[in-house]
Amino acid sequence: MQQDILINWSPQETRVAVIEYGAIQELHVERTLERGLVGNIYLGKVARVLPGMQSAFIDIGLERAAFLHVADVWQRHPEGETPAQARTGQSPTPIEKLVFEGQALMVQVIKDPIGTKGARLSTQISIAGRHLVFLPQDDHIGVSQKIPADQRDALRERLQSLVGPAGGGFILRTNAEDSSDQELGDDIAYLRKTWSRIRESATRLPARSLLHEDLSLLQRVLRDLVGELTLGIRIDSREQYDKLLAFGQEFMPKAAEKLQLYKGERPIFDLYAIDEEIARALGRRVDLKSGGYLIIDQTEALTTVDVNTGGYVGARNFEDTIFKTNLEAAQAIARQLRLRNLGGIIMVDFIDMGRTDHQQAVLAELRKQLSRDRVKTMAGEFSALGLLEMTRKRTRESLAHMLCEPCPSCMGQGTVKTSRTIAYEILREILREARQFNPREFRVVASAAVIELLLDEESQHLAGLSDFIAKPISLQAESSMGPQQYDVILL
């Protein structure tokens, strides 16, 4: 299963597509204005200590003070327990004995600010690598609970020998079960080097400073997505290519060797019609090559997938038609779960099969396809009603939740793309047209919400694009246009 990774970078948004068998399998999106804080490490300053709430407010340089609860204050116990482990045993030391107002304190964000609430913090630092999680304040060597119990002891002893006398706590991640000693050793070196930089920054920077920012999507590509079967990583920005190459050569040299600068005339995502695939992935219906189709509905509680034969009548009899449609659907379902990043409970309603061997063959094909998913996924057996229950770990927001919002016109029963998504589509369309034509001016006609966004929050990106193509860009709001409608007019 060979793999290509394509990176489309712009100042406002980074998009990463994982290509297998000539088709997109995964899409990762990170927006400059919406990047989270989880994982960031700050040198905070204790603003207030609240003994009655057993918590403290920490100023880390954000608009609102962040929140630290006593249960998230790291302290070594005689038995070697951390506060999280001690919650069910003895009570932790009161917070007023652990921190004081004005104190400089190294903290890590464990939950982003939501609404009027500030970020949630912890003083127990953890740094994630590709195969390991580093706990610099601990000496514990652990193994993910998702790895079978009969393998954990051997993996723990192997990791202990690689860690050596330098110490530090490490947890082997689930995806590192089959990692080589070289890969684990490289990860240990990377994590220790990162921690050394954080400590050095803490000695010279003032309070309220950012000491460590969790890796950007570009850097996480090298850490999390690149494997032995990755043929190449193509990126369409010279500036970001140079930065990523420097980062990779220092921390992940094997992955950096696969990095390539894309210099083609066509937009990089046009190579595999990725924008068209994304548009289809936001719809309910997925057409199969045979003529059958899937209907995918995502709700708060679960995701449902309904398989239909549609116009497929190619098999010798109806039973074979159903079997072949379900086999093709099993392959398509596994791909759609990855592409749409659907998580939680998933119920699949395959077309009813009367033969048990057909059911087992479809289930085997589905499990085979799911084994390619880097996110842990489990599929059960067919129920008495012919339904198949699955679970897939939630790692980030689904594609639809990231790119779309509830439609005000249909009272939340459907979704439309956000104004920012449309704005970025417009910016990409202008860039695409500028490469082919040489007009005097570009005029954008769109809904009032999109125009307002381009004039306000996205004005810097719009001005940067205008300078880049050396053409003026004018904006015109059209009240008759829907939230997803727009025109780019060449004058």
- Paired with 417 in beta bridges are 404
What number of CA atoms fall less than 13 Å from residue 208's CA on the CB side?
A: 9
Alpha-carbon gap, residue 184 to 390, rounded angstroms: 31
Surface-to-core class of residue 274, CB atoms within 10 Å of its CB (0-12 exposed, 13-18 middle, 19+ buried):
buried
> 485, 468, 467: which is closest to 476 by C-alpha?
485
Surface-to-core class of residue 157, CB atoms within 10 Å of its CB (0-12 exposed, 13-18 middle, 19+ buried):
exposed
Any idea which residue has 């394509």 for tokens? 6
Alpha-carbon gap, residue 436 to 231, rounded angstroms: 31
The 10 Å CB-count burial string (b at 16+, else e) for 312-331 is beeeeeeeebbbbbbbbbbe
| Number of continuous H segments (helices) and E segments (strands) in the chain | 13, 26
pLDDT tens for the chain, residues 1 to 491:
689 999 999 999 999 999 998 899 999 999 988 887 888 999 999 999 999 999 999 999 988 899 999 999 987 655 444 444 444 445 568 999 999 999 999 999 988 886 678 889 999 999 988 789 999 988 889 988 778 888 888 888 888 888 888 778 999 987 677 778 888 888 898 899 999 999 999 999 999 999 998 888 999 898 888 877 899 999 999 999 999 999 988 877 888 999 999 999 999 999 999 999 999 999 999 999 888 899 999 888 899 999 998 776 665 678 888 899 999 999 999 999 999 999 889 999 999 988 899 999 999 999 999 988 888 899 999 998 889 999 998 767 789 888 988 877 666 767 788 999 999 999 999 999 999 999 999 999 999 999 999 999 999 999 999 999 999 999 999 988 888 899 999 99
Cα dist from 363 to 181, 337, 338, 353, whole Å: 35, 16, 18, 12
Alpha-carbon gap, residue 14 to 199, rounded angstroms: 30
Alpha-carbon gap, residue 221 to 443, rounded angstroms: 36
> 356, 391, 353: which is closest to 375 by C-alpha?
391
How far does Cα 320 stand from its chain's mean position? 39
The 10 Å CB-count burial string (b at 16+, else e) for 380-412 is eebeeeeebebebeeeeebbbebbbbebeeeee
Question: What is the greatest pairwise CA distance in the chain?
Answer: 79
Domains of the chain plus CATH, in order, are 3-35+216-274 (3.30.420.60), 41-212 (2.40.50.140), 282-392 (3.30.110), 418-490 (3.40.1260.20)
Any idea which residue has 């190449």 for tokens? 232
Alpha-carbon gap, residue 326 to 322, rounded angstroms: 6
pLDDT of residue 82: 46
- Paired with 8 in beta bridges are 15
